[in-house]
Chain A
Amino acid sequence: MRHTIAILLENEAGALSRVAGLFSARGYNIESLTVAPTDEVSVSRLTLVTTGNDEIVEQITKQLNKLVDVIKLVELDSTEDIERELLLARVKAGSAGQRSEVKRLVDIFRGRILDVYEGGYIVELTGRGSKIDAFLEALETAQIGEVVRSGVTGIARGPKGLRI
């Protein structure tokens, strides 16, 4: 089972390595990990996607909470809550036919073309991971020049947020 955990972390040197180190030391999986400072400069926010059964994820959240640098965390509900990922991709499109096909796909997926060069586009797309997967699948393999995914970030729905 895939689980998304949002974490508020002290924005201190080495704090991220404590989180990453915990996962490697205890043999947990990290599917993706994103981190950046928040509006409060002393606090970073992490979104971490992991896989495991409920018992493992319970241990993971307990072990994370035990880290002195972890201020708070919450498990996001991957069906209810909002998750977004950013894709930047270099898409090859040499012929006029290919160019219009890619342009059409980008429109369908509500992406944007950020750069046009001879032989292709740089495309930007945000959405759930599954949408990004679908976009990439819709392209022909040979067209994909480069894929940059940000990893998942997420926020809970409704008035209740994760704040210190």
Chain B
Amino acid sequence: MKLTGAEIVVQFLKDEGVECVFGYPGGAVLHIYDAFYAQEEIEHILVRHEQGAVHAADGYARATGKPGTALVTSGPGMTNAVTGIATAYMDSIPMVVISGQVSSALIGNDAFQEVDAVGISRPCVKHNFLVKDVADLASTLKKAYYLAASGRPGPVLVDIPKDVTANKTEYYYQETVKIRSYNPAEKGHSGQIKKGVELLLGARKPMIYSGGGVVLGKASEQLTAVTRLLGFPITSTLMGLGAFPGSDPQFVGMLGMHGTMEANMGMHDCDVLLAVGARFDDRVTGELSKFCPHARIIHIDIDPSSISKNVRVEIPIVGHVKPVLDEMIRMLEARKDALDPTKTREWWAQINRWRDHRCLQYATSSEVIKPQAVVEALWRATRGEAFVTSDVGQHQMWAAQYYRFDQPNRWINSGGLGTMGFGLPAALGVKRAFPDSEVVCVTGEASIQMCIQELSTAKQYDLPVKVVCLNNRYLGMVRQWQEFSYKSRYSHSYMEALPDFIKLAESYGHVGMQITQPGDVDAALEEAFAMKDRLVFMDFITDATENVYPMIEAGKGHAEMRYSPAQEMA
């Protein structure tokens, strides 16, 4: 049967198993929207801004591990989506963004709402397509989903001119697709894995450093098994939190700029480093010349370009993290005789001495709410089981440090691009995927205002997430850097004229709460979480002067952390 391009889009999405699309209509996608009108299988969630659509699709993808889907119109619809696309690109999130384009005959004529979508998105997508012929539409969409989810995942944009959505062709769904120029790595090289295993078995001061690739590669179980077999300390990047249980004694906390003493000192002193699905980002390594000066490094990554990009490694293993770790487990089990915990006994004693400093301890207060205490209370209130999304800044770091994630895919934040405004729409995407789970957006009063319009989407589609706003009246991380590096010259980092968040939440049809007293934090959270079917906006008025510690400042290495004043005195 012949279908129009618009009908093909919708039918393809059904055949591909897409259950929901986050989008916003406009002229160039009206045919597609008309095709959506006639069906009920795929839910369309109408956001309030295209950035929200892409972040919501992103949150959905991060929580489920399946590609998210966003649909936007041409011109401003597409440019509004760019921040979301770049966010997904930096964190390698599988996603397909379908954008409308002006009719083929108008392309290049500066038509109304025309923008070179393929050109604009090119540096921040894994790949993109302009569909010029309806006969290519279905196969292009199939390629888009295949590319988005395979290999190192990433966002793929499919730009469809309006006339292509009106033209008709025979439709059939291809189960598989092959792209001759695209062959992502699968299994790792056994010889390299063997070399890695031998190096690990001889280590006296080993560290495991795991990243977002473990979460994306659904290899949490394998990582946990390898870590348990080896008995080594393990640290994680911001993106990898939860891949190994955060409350396990082998876990030494997050590393990097705001990592723990035991993680960062462990990195500095280790003799063998096993990097798994991590990319040696600058926020992780600190000053490169001071990074892991004594370590021989093994690096498992699916993307060859991640290997030796920032740090030279001795044993690269290119492959999908899951089969690589599976093979490593088999090899380790065959070498059980060589697994000798006494080799690392001294190292663990050293790690525990660092741990005893309790570097995340902070000065508590009965006068003013400490933001860290709110995150700890949130962990208690949700038994550590919630999906937590965040925006970007101090609150993000506190959430990462104090909410101990025991499961993968639960911690959802913009790590690479650092996109303020991500948290709320991402939370809506997560809630859509897991309606029966607790979904919390930990945010700040600045970040939340960047996509606050999505409170309206939450109401329309009944997505009752909880918003935990750590309101310190400052762009907190900017203020912190200004305090440390600019002699406390707080240039344009103070927000006057904040909205009344209670009224704001209420005006969108939600529940608003303001909490000002430290003694009220637990009760407020309990009350909020008891309202299962309501979005509750909790505005915690927190200590405006609190900083995120420990911190590695610019140009410093892992062994040169700055600790909280309370710590320095201890």
Binding site for B on A (CB under 8 A): 10, 13-14, 17-18, 21, 25, 55, 58-59, 62-63, 65-66, 68-72, 164
Contact = CB atoms under 8 A, between A and B. Distances in A.
Interface on chain A toward B: helix, strand, loop, or mixed SS? helix
B119 interface: yes
Nearest to A71: B181
Given A14-B118, A17-B119, 16 more contacts: A13-B130, A14-B119, A14-B130, A17-B122, A18-B122, A55-B308, A58-B308, A59-B305, A59-B309, A62-B304, A66-B303, A68-B126, A69-B181, A71-B180, A71-B181, A164-B180
Interface of B: 118-119, 122-123, 126-127, 130, 147, 179-182, 303-305, 307-309, 312
B155 to A, nearest CB: 13
Contacts of B147: 68
Contact of B122 (A13, A21, A63, A164): A21
A58 B126 CA distance: 20
16 contacts: A14-B118, A17-B119, A17-B122, A18-B122, A21-B122, A55-B308, A55-B312, A62-B305, A66-B304, A66-B305, A68-B126, A68-B181, A68-B182, A71-B180, A71-B181, A164-B180
Contacts of A71: 180-181
B304 A65 contact: yes
Nearest to A62: B305
A65 B309 CA distance: 14
B123 A70 contact: no
Contacts of B119: 14, 17
Contacts of A70: 181
A164 B181 CA distance: 9
A63 B152 CA distance: 13
Contacts of B118: 14
Given A55-B308, A63-B305, A66-B305, A10 B181 contact: yes
Contacts of B305: 59, 62-63, 65-66
Nearest to A13: B130
A65 B119 CA distance: 20
Nearest to B304: A62
Contacts of B307: 62
Contacts of A55: 308, 312
A68 B304 contact: no
A43 to B, nearest CB: 10
A62 B182 CA distance: 13
Closest 10 CB pairs of A and B: A62-B305, A71-B181, A68-B127, A25-B123, A62-B304, A68-B182, A63-B305, A66-B305, A21-B122, A14-B118
A25 B309 CA distance: 15
The interface centre, meaning the residue of B181, B304, B305, B309 with most chain A CB atoms within 10 A of its CB, is: B181
Nearest to A63: B305
Nearest to B312: A55
Contacts of B123: 21, 25
Nearest to B132: A13
A161 B123 CA distance: 31
B178 to A, nearest CB: 13
B519 to A, nearest CB: 52
B131 to A, nearest CB: 11
Contacts of A65: 304-305
Nearest to A24: B123
A60 to B, nearest CB: 10
A89 B119 CA distance: 35
A123 B313 CA distance: 51
A55 B308 CA distance: 8
The interface centre, meaning the residue of A14, A65, A70, A72 with most chain B CB atoms within 10 A of its CB, is: A14
Nearest to B119: A17
Contacts of B181: 10, 68-72
Contacts of A68: 126-127, 147, 179, 181-182
A82 B303 CA distance: 32
